[in-house]
Chain A
């Protein structure tokens, strides 16, 4: 069964450092997302990406965050200068669909980011 894969599974970084979280979405999917889950809390939308551009971003997704699809298969989330409050589980997701028809989103296993 196709799956979304994320690397690394756990990343520890010092406050102020840059981190890049990587994702390989399902190959024929067109829509890509990053969500975040602070420990014990709900899953929150960060950003959606379609046709090589951001289609929507939440208020959490400020100038410190950026996304990229550098090579047609990977989808990355970069945090330029990490803060303690960025510590969370970050989930990548992808969904298919052509035109406007939505199909279910598949989530990766997540990257646990710990900022110290």
Chain B
């Protein structure tokens, strides 16, 4: 019940295309859903996050869509660029808990071809 399932495992997109990564969760106590971007040899960096009181959040080219009833959320990268090539992790957290433990998905390796 603590798992966050992420797909696809890898994704290849042409420059200018749309990248879509999907995640699903089981634990209804999760109420904070961040996406992290990780470049090789670096730590995960927060990209964008959403709480379940909204169905969509947009920051620049990055959009999170959230479907509370289906317990799914997805990251859309519009106008994908070669510099977006990285591993993307979705995560979930219960902010009402006492430990703020992030549960990560397995990651998606995104490659944007020039």
Give A residues with C-beta under 8 Å from B.
Answer: 4, 31, 33, 35, 41-45, 48, 50, 55-56, 91, 93, 95, 97, 100-102, 104-110
Given contacts A102-B93, A104-B49, contact A42 B105 (CB under 8 A): yes
Chain B neighbourhood of A43, CB < 8 A? 36, 44, 89, 102, 104, 107
Give B residues with C-beta under 8 Å from A.
Answer: 32, 34, 36, 41-46, 49, 89, 93, 95-96, 98-107
CB <8 Å contact, B46 and A42: no
Secondary structure class of chain A's binding surface, majority of residues: strand
CB <8 Å contact, B43 and A45: no
Secondary structure class of chain B's binding surface, majority of residues: loop
State in angstroms the CA–CA spacing of A95 and B101 once bound together: 11
Shortest C-beta distance, A18 to chain B (Å), equals 24
CB <8 Å contact, A104 and B34: yes
State in angstroms the CA–CA spacing of A45 and B43 once bound together: 14
Shortest C-beta distance, B48 to chain A (Å), equals 10
Q: Which residue on chain A has the smallest CB distance to residue B34?
A: A104
CB <8 Å contact, A109 and B42: yes
Top 5 closest pairs, chain A to chain B, by CB: A107-B43, A102-B95, A56-B99, A55-B99, A48-B99
CB <8 Å contact, A48 and B43: no
Which of B36, B49, B93, B106 makes the CB contact (< 8 A) with A41? B106
